[in-house]
Amino acid sequence: MFDAVKRLALAGLGALALAGCAVIPGGNEAPVRNEPAVMLPPPPPPPPDADALPVDVERHRIALLVPLSGENAEVGQSIANASTMALLDTGAQNLRITTYDTGAGAGDAARRAVADGNRLILGPLVRDDVAPVLAAARPAATPLLTFSNDTSVAQRDVFVMGHIPDQSVARVVTFAVDQGARTFAALAPRGDYGDRALRALEQAVTASGARVVRSERYDRNNTSILSAADRLRAAGGYDTVLIADGARLAAMAAPRLKDAGQALPSIIGTELWSREDELTRTPALRGAWFAAVPDARYRQFAASYVSRFGSEPYRIATLGYDSVLLTLRLARDWQPGRPLVPAMLTDEGGFLGLDGPIRFSADGVGHRALEVRQIGNGAFTVVDPAPTGS
């Protein structure tokens, strides 16, 4: 029995010995060494995304949505340049404005702007782009300050900043009635702009106790507006005519409505006549009136723009400049990173910019103080300054 126990003990020792050895190819054995583990350095962080904006804790992220490609690219670039001017002129350090091109799709531009964390959108430029931009912005509680002049897109979170033709028509009609006008006629192009101008004329004239007695519509070409003007002159029965179109067609139509030097009918126009020097070279338009935003500060802005960018700005470019001034005003009571409450835009005191004061009502419509200008021989004259009160 002793021999058996001895054999079992020897077998156990052999097993323990084998348990402490590693088998190496070739049948040799080597003892296992408990070497310290090697600590590898952590992998380097991934490179930053070139398209991602850095984190902002002290600046407001603002998106500027304008066309930088396509048919309106020059207008969009002019607005973008003006917004850059405003940042430089004010030395603003609490705004980060990023520009997104709507030329290839306004909806895509808005989705990128929202994903980048922008809390206010300046733009878009045209009415048809408002709906796709709003579809991306509203779920993120991001209001729009659109450069469109169409009040039909105004909503509780869409504020219309453009120069609204309805307000221009109402202002000049009120002035004309004060000068003795009682019966109105109109030349208006077919389409949305003409429809809006005629509605505004009817509302303003009725509110003033006067009458609209006739209107003629036309296609926007030379032959059509001349024929419409001839029909209107032949009909007669009015003392004032609204030409709801730009300078070129207005200058063509006016001589068909009255002879140079003839007192009546008085001719009135819209905000489209602002800074259109061609009108001052048309004798039949001498004494005509139109209403527009004050122009004095624009001349200084335009000179500065030319010195910086080497070309004349579009008249609408002031909206880009003023939108930055307005945003800086909002930033006084707006914490970076927090949503902008739309009601902050409806301050009763309004906001002051290059184009004068603007006040937004709760429905999103921007109301402006307009001046009335008269066309003279080679120059415009302000005959009724813009109101300065609230």
Instruction: State what percent of residues in the chain have pLDDT above 90.
Output: 74
Average pLDDT, integer, range 174-190: 97
Assess whether pLDDT exceeds 90 at residue 17.
Answer: no
pLDDT of residue 366: 96
pLDDT of residue 338: 86
pLDDT of residue 41: 59
pLDDT of residue 165: 92
pLDDT of residue 25: 35
pLDDT of residue 351: 92
pTM across the whole model:
0.80
Instruction: State what percent of residues in the chain have pLDDT above 70.
Output: 85
* Residue type (1 letter), 374: Q
Angle at 151 between CA 150 and CA 153, to 5 degrees: 85
| Per-residue tokens: 275 | 């800074």
**Residue that wins the pLDDT comparison between 366 and 12:** 366
Pairing verdict, β 21-23 and 120-122? unpaired
Q: Are 213 and 205 in contact (CB under 8 A)?
A: no
Q: Are 328 and 59 in contact (CB under 8 A)?
A: no
Q: Which residues contact 384 (CB under 8 A, 6 or more apart)?
A: 175, 371, 372
Sheet with strand 356-360: strands edge to edge:
351-353, 356-360, 366-368
The kind and range of the H/E element at 145 are: strand 144-146
Q: Helix, strand, coil proportions of the chain in percent (round to 5)? A: 40, 20, 40
Distance CA 37, CA 229 (A): 96
Q: Minimum mean pLDDT among 13-17, 115-119, 272-276: which range?
A: 13-17
pLDDT of residue 339: 87
Average pLDDT, integer, range 11-40: 41
Place of tokens 């949505």: 65
Distance CA 360, CA 329 (A): 14
Name the average pLDDT for the chain.
Answer: 87
Distance CA 92, CA 104 (A): 30
Asked if the domains at 60-162+297-336+344-368 and 165-292 fall in one CATH topology, the answer is yes
pLDDT in tens, 140-166: 999 999 999 999 999 999 999 999 999
Average pLDDT, integer, range 166-172: 96
Q: Are 254 and 282 in contact (CB under 8 A)?
A: yes
Distance CA 234, CA 138 (A): 52
Distance CA 390, CA 388 (A): 7
Q: Minimum mean pLDDT among 114-123, 162-171, 240-249, 334-343: which range?
A: 334-343
pLDDT in tens, 43-72: 665 554 555 555 556 789 999 999 999 999
Report the CATH architecture of 60-162+297-336+344-368: 3-Layer(aba) Sandwich (3.40)
Distance CA 379, CA 247 (A): 14
pLDDT of residue 141: 95
Pairing verdict, β 95-101 and 60-66? parallel
Average pLDDT, integer, range 332-348: 87
Q: Which CATH superfamily, name and number, covers 165-292?
A: Response regulator (3.40.50.2300)
In sequence order, which ranges of 138-287 are alpha helices (DSSP H)? Answer: 165-178, 192-207, 222-235, 247-257
Query: CA of 309: how far to CAs of 95, 149, 156, 317, in Å?
Result: 22, 26, 36, 13
Assess whether pLDDT exceeds 60 at residue 382.
Answer: yes
- Give 279-348 as a 3 state SS string: HHHCHHHCCCEEEECCCHHHHHHHHHHHHHHCCCCCHHHHHHHHHHHHHHHHHCCCCCCCCCCHHHHHCC
Average pLDDT, integer, range 294-317: 94
Cis geometry, peptide bond prior to residue 124 (ω within 30 degrees of 0)? yes
| Per-residue tokens: 64 | 């500027």
Q: Minimum mean pLDDT among 32-36, 119-123, 143-147, 366-370: which range?
A: 32-36
Domain boundaries, given as residue ranges, for the chain: 60-162+297-336+344-368, 165-292
pLDDT of residue 18: 33
